[in-house]
Each structure stands twice: as structure tokens, then as C-alpha cells.
Amino acid sequence: MPTFHFELGELPPEAETLRGEVREFLRRELGDTPPVQRAHSWGGFDREFSRKMGARGWIAMTWPKRYGGHEKSALERYVVLEEMLAAGAPVSAHWIADRQSGPLLLRFGTEAQRQKFLPAIARGELSFAIGMSEPDSGSDLASLRTRAERVEGGYRVNGTKVWTSNAHLADYMIATFRTHHDPAKKHEGLTQFLVDTKLDGITMSPIIDLAGSHHFNMVVFEDVFVPEDRRVGEEGAGWKQVTTELAFERSGPERYLSSLALVLELIRHVAKDPGDHAAAVVGRLVAHLATLRQMSLSVAVMLQAGENPNLEAAVVKDVGTTFEQEIPEIVHALLGVEPTIDSGSDLQQVLGFLMQRAPSFSLRGGTREILRGIIARGLGLR
């Protein structure tokens, strides 16, 4: 019977040496950034910060040097990500490009696409969004309806994408459109494109979340012309490519560190007057966090070894986001403090922000139901 495994992994000495360099960089760049701002974790958008990371060689770390990469190990990249997320660094301007779009182009893009886009991504100069979800097609990507019809020299696109993170700030979008429709083979009619967000016919409308932030967007395509040379991969191969892309999205430390700022504020608060019950709660949280970190690191080790840990990545994402969502509830129940917005203590403000943001943690990168379906199929249970 199929199974999954998480072997204990260790970071090589060069990765731990790099950790010290990253922490020193973050101390200089972030300074006295308030905890509530750090709680935004990988949602902070700062192009200048991304350019500085590019100059340090901390974007495109594992990519070939001929495309602007640095040919470092996946474990060295893991250390950089872990430190950036733990510090709440504003990495969003390069996050999608480094984590998903670049690897997608490396694997499925043309040589011309790689030469044009990858070096600029590595320098922290280009920001990407991902255009997958639609108003009636969330986790069920096979039901996408936005059409890309062949015309002379390219494709004409009509339809709507929704929940598109940072589309209003991004330079480009890797979008998945339907190029042909066969009700019996819905997965085979999808194709991915590299879309300039400034093209004529693209209209964006903000979606304001519960925390009052503009992160998501609705993106409408009306007779948008996308040139032939901006198709990524073969026509109709989008489903295979999308699932590869999501494997990158589900496997990193971002799947257990989104609520770390609140854990740190809880520890500072409890340390003033520790009691047995509070100490036990903190101990369980830290133990859970350490376990998830080891699971995530195990996935990184498998990626470094050239394996394809899709099943293990889905487990980390499911368990990790459940943990992230539980932390605000646990802290609120333990301390009884009232969450606040823009006032009160650091603890109250971080709690208030994460209580509003946490419901989204189990949606991004695949819902809990979708992930458990992937796990069940991987184990031969369906």
C-alpha cells in the first residue's frame, strides 16, 4: 500500500553559516518594524527590498547561472526563506516570481522566455501574480471557463479571474486559460500564458479583506490579445504544469510560520508572569511548531535530492495551515485579551490582525478538502 514518509533532515554547515548573514541583513533592513507589521509575513510588498535581496543573491538561488541564478542548494534557499518569514520581511514583490513563476519557466518555458524574464526576476526587478481561480472555479481548476481563442499571431482572451493576489502591483501574471473544451476531458483543455498586466482590455477591481487590506483582485479580460510567444508550454498541457506549480507553493516554511509573530508576542507576555497552565500551552505550541518545521525541512531535503514529494507537501500544507489558524484561537482563549486594530498593545494588535486573516490560510494553495483528496489518492484510498 502506498505511504508517505518524513525522514529527519539536517542542514549543511554552509546553510547555517548563511543564516547568520541573513539575520544580520534583516536586523539592518527591518530595524524596529512593529510586530503587527511583521505579522503580515509574506504579504508585505516592497520592490526596493526585493532588489536588495536580488543584489545579495537571495532570489533565484537554485537556478542556473546562465539565467541569473546562483546554483545554490535547495537547503540554502530554505534557510533564507525561513529567516525572511520568521522576521516578517516584505518579500511579496518577488515571492511568486521566485517560488512559482520562475521554476515554471525553467521547466516549461521557451529559451527566449527564460532569457528575457529569468535574469530580471533574479535581480528582484519583476513581480508576478498567479491567475488561476475564477468566480465559479475555485479549487476545482478543471472547471475554468476563461477562454483563450486562437487568432492570427496569438490568442484572444475573455473571462474573469478572482482572488488574484497582488495583480494590481504585479508586472506579469502566469494565467491559466481554457483553449479548448471537451466535457469528457476537462483537464486537457487548459493552457498557461505569461500575461503583461498592462495589456489593453484588462480591468482590475480591488477585493478588500476582513483586515481592510487590498491584497486580492478581480481581473476581467475583454478581448485581450496575448501573443503566441507568451504561451508557456504546450497548448493543452496546463493542468500538468499547474499541479507542478502548486507543489512548489505547498512545500515551503510559509505553511507554518504565518502566525509566528503571535507566538512570539505570547511568549513575551507570558514571560512577565509565567504560570503552569500558560507554560504548558506555550510548550505545546513550540513543540508543534518544531515538528512542522522538521516535516517541512524533510520536504526540502527530498526536493534537493531530486524527488517529487507532492504527497508530503500536501500533508505539510494541510497540517501547517490548520496549526496557523488555531494559534489566534488558542492565544485568545488562554489570555482573554481583546483583539484590537490600530490601538492597544502589540499582542492585541497582532491577535486582531491574525484573527481576521487566519480564515484565508486554509484557502491559498488549495483548500483543506482538495489537499486531503490529494493525500487520499496518493495513499491509494480513492
122 and 155 co-located in one domain: no
Q: Strand 214-227 vs strand 202-208: parallel, antiparallel, or unpaired?
A: antiparallel
**Closest alpha carbon to 347 in 338, 334, 358:** 338
| Domain finish residue from 103, 126, 149 | 126
Domain CATH number, residue 42: 1.10.540.10
How many independent structural domains does the chain possess? 3
Whole-angstrom Cα Rg for the chain: 21
Task: Give the C-alpha separation, 18 to 183, whole Å.
Answer: 51
Contact 356, 290 (CB under 8 A): no
Where is average pLDDT lowest: 141-150, 199-208, 213-222, 301-310? 301-310
Helix ranges, 230-367 (H): 238-250, 260-272, 276-304, 310-335, 346-357
Find all residues with CB under 8 Å of 145, minimum gap 6, and list them.
134, 136, 137, 159, 178
What pLDDT is attached to residue 184? 72
Q: What proportion of the chain, given as a percentage, has pLDDT over 70?
A: 96
In sequence order, the 6+-apart residues with CB closer than 8 A to the CB of 11 are 75, 78, 79, 297
Residue among 273, 208, 213, 289 at smallest CA distance from 36: 213
Residues 116 and 152 reside in one and the same domain: no
Bridge partners (DSSP) of residue 161 are 219
Range of the domain at 363: 251-378
**Confidence category of residue 244, pLDDT binned at 50, 70, 90:** low
Across 93-110, average pLDDT: 95
Say which CATH number the domain at 284 has: 1.20.140.10
Q: What is the pLDDT of residue 191?
A: 97
Can you tell me which residue has the cell 484510498?
Answer: 381
Kindly report, residue by residue over 53-63, the tens digit of the pLDDT: 999 999 999 99
Kindly state the helix (H) or strand (E) to which residue 56 belongs, with its residue range. Answer: helix 47-56
* Least confident stretch, 24-28, 104-108, 206-210: 206-210
User: pLDDT tens digit string along 131-158?
Assistant: 999 997 766 777 899 999 999 999 999 9
Average pLDDT of the chain to the nearest whole number: 90
Please report, for the domain that includes residue 211, its CATH number.
2.40.110.10
Q: What is the pTM of this model?
A: 0.90
> Are 141 and 210 in a shared domain?
yes
